[in-house]
Structure 1
């Protein structure tokens, strides 16, 4: 391996590449990773020098606290390649801030901006050839931190590992999805970690989602833990509802993740002159709108999926099918956002950042 030093980031280049083994037209989301990753350890109360090295398994003590007490957080980001072969990130400052917010909530050390941003920049430059151009093509970026300190005593770890993985991606969800509205299970509770991008939030969703899958639904629309009357998120996405010509979505809270795609769509919708209302959305309101025909659209929004159209929903064993409409808000906003991300239209918001 060739070793170079760049801005205190040690770079160990892989002697060979796996890129020629990858079928970029038939990618399974999150299953293929590039030649390199970034790794940085926290020890003795401070972050060590980061290193970019060939992608490989890591060795950990069986008593590492991540295995026993679940101190683990992550982010989801994307990079895009334009027609000039330049690489762009979308609102990386928001991911960085949210990552550290999650770290604080999980009693983990915040990561310095130089390690997160400079490390990501160098990693993307090194594996730039893995980023494809074209509609739906991107590089999915997974920064994460885990507790690596040994010992099974129930307290925060004193050692951590921060890493960034890169995975070439196409579209996350194929086609429309059907959902079931949760009547018993909740994604998060007041005072809990719902607003943090913590690994345990996602693990807790798997069982009720499996139950929904058995009944023919792809995802669950989560409701509040106290009354199960307020609609909150759809699967791993923020969720939007269009009733008549008003676009509705729940406000962020201790239970709801402050989605970067969510906040971007809200700003774009307002710029397009759409009526937007950020407020609690009640299950009975949605059911009544479905019955009287005023419910026009439901769609999820997130980094991986961008926008995923919801075909219909079930509540109390009754299924409500959505009627397809022309000129949908979902189609309009997805086209506007993906065009901006891929540098096919002007970024009037200042959200895209060039990798250089």
Structure 2
């Protein structure tokens, strides 16, 4: 094995047994190594290293535990039929990571540090990339505050870590339609808050509603805006799209919605196919009216984890709205096949999205 240049490398002496590719689930298994780099106010980002996957040791007073300074990203690596390793739009991930850093008052991370870390870690654990249809290597970069102090102020110390996990489908339904519960009481974010940042607290705030939805037989929660409680924002782990009377609609980015990379890619694909797409404010009442009048043709969520997830049913205030008779729509299927094909290298990439990782 070639030692990564410029990064201290400690090889794992105990190799994990790789799970069968048809039993991966999502985020259950982890590769042999992880990447770590430290930040100190006096030194900046320093001491990059790849080490065996292991627990993190932190002081009980570390600020992450008390004030929640933490952000993360998610992206995937794919192995093509001819053995190449491809990343999907990693430049967008570092851009969004630094926007999240800025909102949480965390120091920016240099692009070269981010990309070197990705390439070196993938090179070391490249044998973990699964190749079966619907599988990929999920990559989770994250930053958190480590300064041991209880004063309410930004931390002076941080760690940036990358871990990786071979994954299958995010939802048990795979690319079959999921059922979504429209949250009537709680809100995820408001304009001016941290809704557009990929910060841990946003997802913690969603857990209570998510568990409640699952108890009712629903896979995820659809969030409405935090002021009027009527405008559609996003699903717990996805941006959301609706095909109404031939035109695709998605909530416009307003500061409380995550700027999804898959969302952006789907918009580009639709425009490339000359399919009408509108980014605008959409009320839940309007959506239900479109469903009752027969104009709501399809609905689907988009995200790194799920890629495309068709929506077969909504439940808002105990009123169920079945979409496409609970079946996957033609456009949802076409988008899934196109995007997955580009990511796997089996279809042309007219946008230049895929970045090859050259490993030794």
Q: TM-score normalised to the size of structure 2?
A: 0.95
Unpaired runs of at least 5, structure 1 = none
- Aligned residue-pair number: 353
Does 1:101 pair with 2:94? Answer: no
Relative to structure 2, which stretch is displaced further, 44-53 or 54-63?
44-53
State the distance in 1 between where 2:265 and 2:181 align.
26
Alignment map for 1:17-166 (pairs within 5 Å):
17-18=15-16, 20-45=17-42, 46-166=44-164
CA contact (8 A) 1:37 1:163 kept: yes
The structural deviation recorded for 1:5 is 5.2
The structural deviation recorded for 1:49 is 2.4
Alignment map for 1:271-350 (pairs within 5 Å):
271-324=272-325, 328-350=330-352
State the distance in 1 between where 2:253 and 2:238 align.
12
CA contact (8 A) 1:3 1:12 kept: no
CA contact (8 A) 1:3 1:10 kept: no
- Counterparts in 2 of 1:220 and 1:10: CA distance versus 1, 3 Å: same
State the distance in 1 between where 2:146 and 2:188 align.
26
The structural deviation recorded for 1:330 is 0.7
The structural deviation recorded for 1:75 is 0.1
The structural deviation recorded for 1:3 is 9.5
State the distance in 1 between where 2:41 and 2:305 align.
35
Does 1:209 pair with 2:210? Answer: yes
- Counterparts in 2 of 1:301 and 1:152: CA distance versus 1, 3 Å: same
How big is the alpha-carbon RMSD for the aligned residues of Structure 1 and Structure 2? 1.4
The structural deviation recorded for 1:307 is 0.8
Alignment map for 1:188-227 (pairs within 5 Å):
188-227=189-228
Unpaired runs of at least 5, structure 2 = none
- Counterparts in 2 of 1:316 and 1:303: CA distance versus 1, 3 Å: same
State the distance in 1 between where 2:4 and 2:211 align.
47
State the distance in 1 between where 2:295 and 2:47 align.
56
The structural deviation recorded for 1:337 is 0.3
Relative to structure 2, which stretch is displaced further, 41-50 or 246-255?
41-50
Q: TM-score normalised to the size of structure 1?
A: 0.96
State the distance in 2 between where 1:188 and 1:274 align.
31
State the distance in 2 between where 1:226 and 1:334 align.
33
CA contact (8 A) 2:310 2:329 kept: no
**Any idea what SS the aligned residue of 1:307 has?**
strand
CA contact (8 A) 2:240 2:302 kept: yes
Q: Could you list the per-position Cα deviations for residues 56-90 of structure 1 after superposition, in whole angstroms to 9, with x for gaps in the alignment?
A: 11211000000000001000100000011110000
Moved over 6 A (4+): none
State the distance in 2 between where 1:178 and 1:148 align.
39
CA contact (8 A) 1:3 1:11 kept: no
State the distance in 2 between where 1:240 and 1:232 align.
10
**Any idea what SS the aligned residue of 1:62 has?**
coil
The structural deviation recorded for 1:326 is 7.3
Q: Partner of 2:268 in structure 1?
A: 267
State the distance in 1 between where 2:12 and 2:179 align.
43
State the distance in 1 between where 2:146 and 2:252 align.
35
CA contact (8 A) 1:300 1:307 kept: yes
State the distance in 2 between where 1:124 and 1:350 align.
21
